[in-house]
Structure 1
């Protein structure tokens, strides 16, 4: 079963196009290191919760939209190896400036326990 890297990112709504462009430039780098699938999902129905919610998780401010992303890797070993190798990949230095506050971005690795796609 694959391994999932999940991300939550607060992006200024006015920077949607810049974020999409950055994601399009970054995707091939992840794929070069073995990523099977990359999904970038722009928040469309992100309700306020009573105790916590996606917006509070990343301290989203007025005028920001939460992006929910995930990268599917063949396995945890590939994910960990890619993360280590990508730290020194010079292509990151060629990227445009991040159109969001990277300090409030969060990510983690997840081992699937159910996958209905097979």
Structure 2
């Protein structure tokens, strides 16, 4: 696996990333994919074995189910072996603070 430095962070990330938009299969993301926990574990294990150390997700993917599945699937993995990149800008509710990049919304996400 090839790795590159992530900006000035000092972190080395794999040039291949596992995207998790297909995990969960809820709401408008049901048409994208319906990968459940067992299949997610298998995919994540295969990626880690291949040297992938970056997993991309977002709170909006399947209304948070993608993040939950990733967390559950990684539950027993070696801490620090995988980096998780998540996004939190999109609306997660109808309230005025349920979206955007405010400190409040990012902490809630």
What TM-score comes out, normalization by structure 2 length? 0.29
What TM-score comes out, normalization by structure 1 length? 0.27
Determine which structure has the larger strand proportion and give its number.
Answer: 1
